Copies of this chain bind each other. A is one copy, B any other.
Amino acid sequence: MAYEFKVVRSVEFHETDMAGIVHYSNFFRYMEVAEHGFFRSLGFSVVDHTQPRIGWPRVHAACDYLQPLRFEDQVEIHLLVSEMKSKALSYVFRFRKLNAAPPLEVARGKLTVVCVTHETDGKMKATPIPKVVADKIEVAPADLLK
């Protein structure tokens, strides 16, 4: 059972904006990269090829920005599972700039995703998280989520 995952990225030029810092929308892309890495670490892909196809649309996303990130900064994205319901998962994310001494927390994020099936008419319908997935995931200890 797993409740966390870490990934480190180097900030890329196209992720910056004219203010010289990572555009705030990109933190949500970083969160998703960590989420998908978490799934792969469990032996799954978020893109599932069974029928009916499972998907994980977002229902809530949030981020608190503490410090800017700049080009070539090394940022660690630390995913923690904060809640698990029958059809939904919530994560928190800690962003740390590693090329600072000591490493500096630069942002905190949250994401809630719902497990859905893609119906043949293109609609999405909430569905219980498959047991094979749910059995591998647990909520992180409370003190890590503070």
Contacts and interface: CB of A to CB of B under 8 A. Distances in A.
Interface of A: 12-14, 16-21, 23-26, 28-29, 32-33, 36, 40, 45-47, 55, 57-65, 68, 70-72, 122, 124
A39 to B, nearest CB: 10
A62 to B, nearest CB: 4
Nearest to A70: B18
B14 A16 contact: no
Given A12-B29, A14-B17, A25-B25, A65 B72 contact: no
19 contacts: A13-B23, A13-B32, A13-B33, A13-B36, A13-B46, A16-B17, A17-B18, A18-B21, A24-B57, A25-B25, A25-B29, A28-B28, A47-B71, A59-B64, A60-B63, A60-B65, A61-B62, A61-B63, A62-B63
Given A14-B32, A17-B16, A24 B61 contact: yes
- Residue from the set A13, A40, A45 with the largest chain B CB neighbour count within 10 Å: A13
Contact of A68 (B33, B64, B124): B124
B17 A17 contact: yes
A63 B23 CA distance: 16
A36 B15 CA distance: 13
A62 B65 contact: no
A25 B17 contact: no
